[in-house]
Amino acid sequence: MIIFFIEVKDLPESWKDVFHRFNKKATPSRRAILEVFEEKGQHLSAEDVYEHLRAKKKKVGIATVYRNLDLLLRMGILRKVNFGDGREHYEICRTAQFHHHLICTQCGQVVDCEGMTQEEEQFLQRLRKEFEQKQGFVVHSYHIYFYGLCPRCR
Amino acid sequence: MIIFFIEVKDLPESWKDVFHRFNKKATPSRRAILEVFEEKGQHLSAEDVYEHLRAKKKKVGIATVYRNLDLLLRMGILRKVNFGDGREHYEICRTAQFHHHLICTQCGQVVDCEGMTQEEEQFLQRLRKEFEQKQGFVVHSYHIYFYGLCPRCR
DNA sequence: ATAAGTGCAAAGGATTTGCGATGGG
DNA sequence: CCCATCGCAAATCCTTTGCACTTAT
């Protein structure tokens, strides 16, 4: 027996389609950068991305890396995070679970904090409303940074 | 009638004493920088501090500003905050109420968010424990950034 | 074909550093 | 008086930009 009906919920749009939707070209550089984020995952600096590309024998200039990190940011594919080390870091949104960061103030190590749930939702929903009323802002996202000492530094 | 007993709870240590405790000199530059934070308050960049000093006719070199912002940070008098605008900002801890930040992603305007209370305490207390168990970190502080659109940009 | 994207090298902006001069304890 | 601190200018680090060449559509 053959099942003819296959439920496909939220089939993710291909990167090519995403670029197309933004009237941007799906160039090799851009694909390669996204590949790095999909493989290496979290919070990479421009230099990190550049090094990973070199390691993979993909020749992409550092300027192109910067330009495309910014583009991907504006397209909503990456988000920018900052750990106070003097450079910007980027994370991919789609493949990574939404999370926050725990930063060692001694050595700079950064750990992702995933899996905060309902309680967080409720807490932030309340704050969001408060800001929208008190300050007149529309809040569309937030980020929590925790600071402390990692196992080795404590 | 004279009241002989005056209750003085938590008399704040003078800046001079704080410097002394850290074996650092209470120089005019340092006093002037602290004065700026006490008067102008929130999230100033090194350049901001430098400009305010000039406006007050205090001649302090920009290098000295940077060196002392870092010193005051390490002494726990200032904390560093980052709004993604390519420069670091600093806030004074003692005189300012603990607060978070609401950032307009369009124009970069930053608003302080004060007065989150019990609920926040509880919520973050739970997370703190979770991290200490799961990751082995000691968490000593945290910071929440909210992103959205300000009244003018929405 | 052609406008968008790229690489390179130079420019820009923020922060740090070297060093001789200064002044707080 | 002496070492920490300062001012200045040069150095460094991250990021952006100008321009001629290449390429995805």
- Which residues of chain A are within 8 Å of residue B154 when distances are taken between CB atoms? 136-138
Q: What is the DSSP letter of A131?
A: H
CA-to-CA distance for B46 and B1, rounded, in angstroms? 51
Residue nearest to nucleotide D16 (CA to C1'): A63
| pLDDT tens digit sequence for B67-78 | 999 999 999 999
Q: Chain A residue with minimal CA distance to B119? A: A123
| pLDDT tens digit sequence for B27-70 | 999 999 999 999 987 899 999 999 999 999 999 999 999 999 99
B21 touches strand C (CB under 7 A): no
Q: What is the DSSP letter of B90?
A: E
DSSP string, A50-97: HHHHHHTT----HHHHHHHHHHHHHTTSEEEEE-SSSSEEEEESSSSP
Residues in Cβ contact with A45 at an 8 Å cutoff, skipping those fewer than 6 apart = A87, A88, A89, A90
Domain boundaries, chain A: 13-92, 98-148
Bases on strand D under 7 Å from any protein CB? 4-10, 13-18, 23-25
- pLDDT < 50: residue spans in chain A: 2-6, 8
| pLDDT tens digit sequence for B96-129 | 888 899 999 999 999 998 877 777 778 778 888 8
Distance B72 CA to C13 C1' (A): 24
> Does residue A101 contact residue A113 with C-beta atoms inside 8 Å?
yes
B147–A139 CB contact, under 8 Å: yes
Chain position carrying tokens 């003097």 = A86
Q: How confident is the model at residue B11 (pLDDT cuts 50, 70, 90)?
A: low
Binding site for Zn(2+): what residues of B are annotated? 104, 107, 150, 153
| The pLDDT of residue B150 | 93
| The pLDDT of residue A68 | 98
B103 touches strand C (CB under 7 A): no
pTM of the predicted structure, to 2 decimals: 0.89
Residue B79: count other Cβ atoms within 10 Å of its Cβ.
18
Bases on strand C under 7 Å from any protein CB? 4-10, 13-18, 24-25
Residue A61: what are its φ and ψ, rounded to 5°?
A: -65, 150
Domain B13-92 is in which class?
A: mainly alpha
Which amino acid, one-letter code, is at A18?
A: V
> Does residue B123 contact residue B142 with C-beta atoms inside 8 Å?
no
**Sign of the Cα pseudo-torsion (B35, B38, B41, B45, in order):** positive
Calculate ∠ Cα A80-A67-A75, nearest 5°: 55
- CATH fold, domain A98-148, is Dna Ligase; domain 1 (3.30.1490)
A99 touches strand D (CB under 7 A): no
